[in-house]
Each structure stands twice: as structure tokens, then as C-alpha cells.
């Protein structure tokens, strides 16, 4: 056997692929692989609620359909608030285009939160987890939240999946 034949049998492991899930920014419905082959630009509006836009995010970031979701642009502006997130942070209509700090605040520091959001929106592959509180002017400011922060898109943005922290 020649050296070339030997090396030809060696198959380098493919780079680990992050499984992605598509989700609706409004009703939070998720869809799996079946829809992931839809050409870019098609089927961007959610077929279930007809209002949200379908984006994709790492599968590990989303617990399932109907999650409380916020989408935040790289420069920290809110671009979507799902129905399930509205009772936690306020109505989407009043938050679109607003700085993320107008909806949520981090007990660990808003600068750190801004960096986590910028990193995720820049395409970072890890899913960060952080504690949050709704901003003071929103209802229920005693609520404590846990957020998973991951990248989503297109276009690239940060996905925040909010959950009430168990008391
Ligand atoms: Zn929808």
C-alpha cells in the first residue's frame, strides 16, 4: 500500500455543526429541519400567525414553541418582542427600536449585558445565560428573569429567550 492510498483512507472529522431551529418572532412557534431548505427570502413570514418573521437560532437556545423572545440588534435596539414576552417586558409596539435597557436591566451590570448582546449579534456561537430584571418602568419590576442569549438571523441579531426565575 502506498503512502497516498493510506492517507486517502483518513477522513478528517467534519467541523461540528450547530443544529439550528427556525422560530417566529411573534408567536414563537418553532419549526425543524423540514423548513430549513426554504430558499432565502421565501417563507419569511410565519405561516401560523402571519405576523412574525421566521429567523433561525441555535437549537439549544430555544426551549420549544411559544417562548418569551426578544430580538435585539447589534447596536442594542429592540427589533422584536414575542407575545409570550410582552407580559414580562411590555408590549412590542412600545418597544420596537428602543434601546434594550428600556425593557430589561441586568443585576450583573448593563455594560456586561450589552457586551453579551453584541457578541451574540456578531455571530458568536455560544449560548450565554444571564439574570435580568424588567426595567423599572415596566409592570412587575419585582419579577426576576433568566435569559439565554444566542445569535439569530438573518439579519444577524441577538436572540434573548426569557424565563421567569423560580422564586
Ligand atoms: Zn408566528
CA 50–ligand 1 middle distance (angstroms) = 6
| Grid cell listed for 118 | 453584541
Q: Give the model's pLDDT for residue 2.
A: 55
CA 21–ligand 1 middle distance (angstroms) = 14
Cβ neighbours of residue 117 under 8 Å, at least 6 residues apart? 72, 74, 76, 100, 149, 158, 160
| Grid cell listed for 20 | 439550528
Residues 24-69 pLDDT 10s: 999 999 987 544 555 555 568 998 999 999 999 999 999 899 999 9
Q: Is residue 9 part of a domain?
A: no
Q: Is residue 3 part of a domain?
A: no
Q: Is residue 6 part of a domain?
A: no
Q: Is residue 53 part of a domain?
A: yes
CA 73–ligand 1 middle distance (angstroms) = 20
Q: Give the model's pLDDT for residue 63.
A: 87
CA 48–ligand 1 middle distance (angstroms) = 5
d(CA 17, CA 151): 15
User: Look-up: residue for cell 441555535?
Assistant: 58
Tell me the whole-structure pTM to 2 decimals: 0.83
The count of domains in the chain is 1
Q: Give the model's pLDDT for residue 38.
A: 55
CA 29–ligand 1 middle distance (angstroms) = 6
CA 85–ligand 1 middle distance (angstroms) = 13
The domain containing residue 100 runs over which residues?
A: 19-164
Distance from the first to the final alpha carbon of the chain: 66
Q: Give the model's pLDDT for residue 141.
A: 53
Q: Can you say how many angstroms the Cα of residue 78 is from the centroid of all Cα atoms in its chain?
A: 12
- DSSP H/E element including 8: helix 3-8
Q: Give the model's pLDDT for residue 128.
A: 94
CA 30–ligand 1 middle distance (angstroms) = 9
| Grid cell listed for 55 | 429567523
Regions of the chain short of the pLDDT cut 50:
34-35
CA 107–ligand 1 middle distance (angstroms) = 31
Q: Give the model's pLDDT for residue 161.
A: 98
Q: Is residue 54 part of a domain?
A: yes
CATH code for the domain of 74: 3.30.450.20
CA 83–ligand 1 middle distance (angstroms) = 9
CA 24–ligand 1 middle distance (angstroms) = 5
CA 43–ligand 1 middle distance (angstroms) = 12
CA 162–ligand 1 middle distance (angstroms) = 17
Amino acid at each position: 500500500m502506498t503512502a497516498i492510498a493510506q492517507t486517502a483512507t483518513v477522513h478528517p472529522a467534519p467541523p461540528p455543526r450547530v443544529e439550528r431551529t427556525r422560530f417566529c418572532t411573534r408567536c414563537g412557534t418553532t419549526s425543524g429541519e423540514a423548513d430549513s431548505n426554504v430558499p432565502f427570502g421565501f417563507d419569511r413570514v410565519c405561516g401560523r400567525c402571519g405576523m412574525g418573521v421566521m429567523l433561525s437560532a441555535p437549537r439549544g437556545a430555544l426551549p420549544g414553541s411559544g417562548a418569551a423572545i426578544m430580538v435585539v440588534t447589534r447596536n442594542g435596539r429592540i427589533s422584536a418582542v414575542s407575545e409570550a414576552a410582552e407580559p414580562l417586558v411590555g408590549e412590542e409596539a412600545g418597544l420596537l427600536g428602543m434601546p434594550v435597557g428600556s425593557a430589561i436591566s441586568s443585576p450583573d451590570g448593563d455594560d456586561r449585558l450589552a457586551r453579551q448582546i453584541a457578541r451574540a449579534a456578531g455571530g458568536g456561537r455560544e449560548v450565554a445565560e444571564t439574570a435580568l430584571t424588567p426595567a423599572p418602568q415596566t409592570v412587575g419590576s419585582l419579577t426576576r428573569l433568566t435569559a439565554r442569549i444566542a445569535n439569530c438571523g438573518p439579519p444577524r441579531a441577538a436572540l434573548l429567550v426569557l424565563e421567569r426565575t423560580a422564586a
